[in-house]
Structure 1
Amino acid sequence: MNKYGVVATKAVYLIMNEEQTEPLTAWNTAASDVFGEGTWAQRKGCPKNAFLGLCEEGLVRGIPKGNYTYRSESLNKAYALEAVELLKVSPLLANDRNGLWKEVMKGVKKSHNSQMDVVLALWNNNLIVLE
């Protein structure tokens, strides 16, 4: 699991353990712990917005559905949601980050920006709600 996956899972556990109550605050706390306060990696938006998008839809265990993203962040949310749907149909993609990204992008050539690391960390740690 890469560092953004660690941040995502740590953020969930911060909420589950009631150390934080909001997904954004939990993400920022976890990212500061992993990357250091104020660093570029701590502020990186794509993985954070993928995480918040999943939370917003009620797909992250222990986090209620709510409004956690801004309209401008909808692409990363959409990527994460599509990845979850693909994993439900093809769970073997959980072992192939690049293959999952390729499926999400449907042939569009674009580099992922750690969104799949977030999705896969949550998926592989049974933190995605499948119902």
Structure 2
Amino acid sequence: MANRYGEAALMAARQSASQNMNPMDQWQIAMESLYPTSIAARKKGSPRAAFLGLCEEGLVKGIPAGHYRASKDDKASAIRAAALLVEGSQSWSIGTLWKAVSENSEKPHNSQLDVVMALWKNDLIVRNP
């Protein structure tokens, strides 16, 4: 089971794909469901940007590429992480993946990779874009 940010990504991806809805709206709905009393958790930008960044690039199954307002740093980390997972050259943990994609691996990831790993483990990352 993914953490709540990973779970939000799964919920948003599945709803966006099955109902042809905007992934930004679906992310918000998922966050309100998972964090009903924590505004700060719902507004956390890094996991949202990772999810939307993958969506922007057409890397989430069932969601068309488009402009979904992802921050470029978190988007870049998520895209690099997805590419390494697709490459399949090794078995990745969140820690080793973060070291491989981060400009500053001493800084802890901010749940971006929880999103990527949850989508990956649930076969929702496009493997051949």
TM over 0.5: yes
Q: Check if 1:8 corresponds to 2:5.
A: no
Q: Which residue of 2 aligns with 1:58?
A: 58
Sequence identity (%)? 43
Gap runs ≥5 in structure 1: none
Q: What TM-score do the two structures reach when normalised by structure 2?
A: 0.91
Q: How many residues of Structure 1 are paired with residues of Structure 2 in the alignment? A: 126
Q: Which residue of 1 aligns with 2:23?
A: 23
CA distance in structure 2 between the aligned counterparts of 1:75 and 1:3, rounded to whole angstroms: 21
Q: Which residue of 2 aligns with 1:81?
A: 79
> What letter matches 2:13 in structure 1?
V
Report the secondary structure of 1:78's partner residue: helix
**Cα RMSD, aligned residues only:** 1.6
Runs of 4+ in 1 over 4 A off after TM superposition: none
TM superposition shift of 1:56: 0.2
> What letter matches 1:30 in structure 2?
A
Relative distance call for 1:22 and 1:37 in structure 2 (3 A) is: farther
Report the secondary structure of 1:17's partner residue: helix
Deviations 1:4-63 (A, max 9, x none): 000000001111331x61010000000110111662111110000000000000000010
Higher normalized helix content (fraction of residues): 1
> What letter matches 1:101 in structure 2?
W
